[in-house]
Structure 1
Amino acid sequence: MGKFVITKNDKGQFHFNLKASNGQVILTSQGYSTKAACENGIESVRNNSADDSKFERKAAKDGRPYFVLKAANAQIIGNSQMYSSEDAMENGIASVKNNAPGASVEMEE
């Protein structure tokens, strides 16, 4: 089962990473000003990850595929890593769909 890991950077912003059961980061959030806002972002990932239309497939300037997950209001709530192929990106999307709904949440110190 996956997990959300919340971290706080040196500027006081909170971020989360969704990690697959193998520990690989499959989705990274924006910065949030409070832990509560970060936790709301996690809930938004849980709620929106089941809907394939919320995943926007993109390509970086160098052509590598990646995806973003958007909330109902069209705001980006998470970004993926860069992938080596579109198949690998689709596997990443499937991993978010499988891991996000039941993922635990922990705070990294």
Structure 2
Amino acid sequence: MAHKFEIFKDKVGEYRVRFQYNGEVIFATEGYKNKAGALNAIESVKKNAPAAPTEDNS
């Protein structure tokens, strides 16, 4: 698969999510105290990202 979400624990024990495309990390989230928070972050991106506008600040 070319893209995926990855849930992992950081050095301080918080859950984080990385989104990867072709093995390259596109973005990572803040830390969450529990896994449910990380899963909610994934669902939020899946639900809201298709409607996100593009802001060109160049």
Fold match (TM-score > 0.5): yes
For 1:34, the equivalent position in structure 2 comes to 34
**CA deviation vs aligned residue, 1:18-69 (integer Å, no higher than 9, x gap):** 001x11111211111101110000000101110123x5566xxxxxxxxxxx
For 1:9, the equivalent position in structure 2 comes to 10
Across the two proteins, how many residue pairs are aligned to each other?
Answer: 57
1:45 aligns with 2:45: yes
Question: Matched residues in 2 for 1:32 and 1:6: separation?
Answer: 11
TM-score under structure 2 length normalisation = 0.81
TM-score under structure 1 length normalisation = 0.46
Question: Matched residues in 1 for 2:55 and 2:28: separation?
Answer: 15
The alignment's C-alpha RMSD in Å is 1.9
Question: Matched residues in 1 for 2:4 and 2:27: separation?
Answer: 11
Moved over 6 A (4+): none
Question: Matched residues in 1 for 2:41 and 2:56: separation?
Answer: 20
For structure 2, the 5+ residue unaligned runs are none
Question: Matched residues in 2 for 1:16 and 1:56: separation?
Answer: 23
Written as runs of structure 1 = structure 2, the 5 A alignment for 1:23-102 is 23-53=23-53
**Secondary structure at 2:33 match in 1:** coil
Question: Matched residues in 2 for 1:4 and 1:30: separation?
Answer: 14
Question: Matched residues in 1 for 2:35 and 2:56: separation?
Answer: 28
**Secondary structure at 1:10 match in 2:** coil
Question: Matched residues in 2 for 1:57 and 1:16: separation?
Answer: 25
For structure 1, the 5+ residue unaligned runs are 59-85, 87-109
